Amino acid sequence: MPAVTEKPDHYLRTTSYGLNVFVFFPLRRNAEFPEALESFSEIAKKNKGSKFRLIQKETTKWALLLPPISLVLTPVVTELVGEVYD
């Protein structure tokens, strides 16, 4: 992968929230990586970015937050951090 020599115009961090059934099946607002990446790229375009590079991706499924309720209805959070270039 070629190295980026230019400095980013700004950094962007987005957080997507969702609710899954039985840990894996999205019920409300899918917060998995493809959907989170889609929203990240839309926000980057709104901020006049022509390209971006992801730095960090973190997805947390809170299945053990309040067992047994959270095993049935699981909160999911995906956070993406990246550099945006004009």
pLDDT in tens, 22-69: 999 999 888 999 999 999 999 999 999 999 999 999 999 999 999 999
Q: What distance in Å separates the CA atoms of residue 47 and residue 51, rounded to the nearest whole number?
A: 11
Bridge pairing between strands 51-61 and 73-85 = antiparallel
Domain count along the chain: 1
Question: Residue 6 has what pLDDT?
Answer: 83
With respect to residue 1, please indicate whether it lies within any of the assigned structural domains.
no
3 occurs within a structural domain? no
pLDDT at 85: 93
What pLDDT, on a 0 to 100 scale, did the predictor assign at position 2? 58
| Angle at CA of residue 34, ends 44 and 78, nearest 5° | 80
Confidence of residue 11 (pLDDT cuts 50, 70, 90): very high
Assigned domain for 4 exists = no
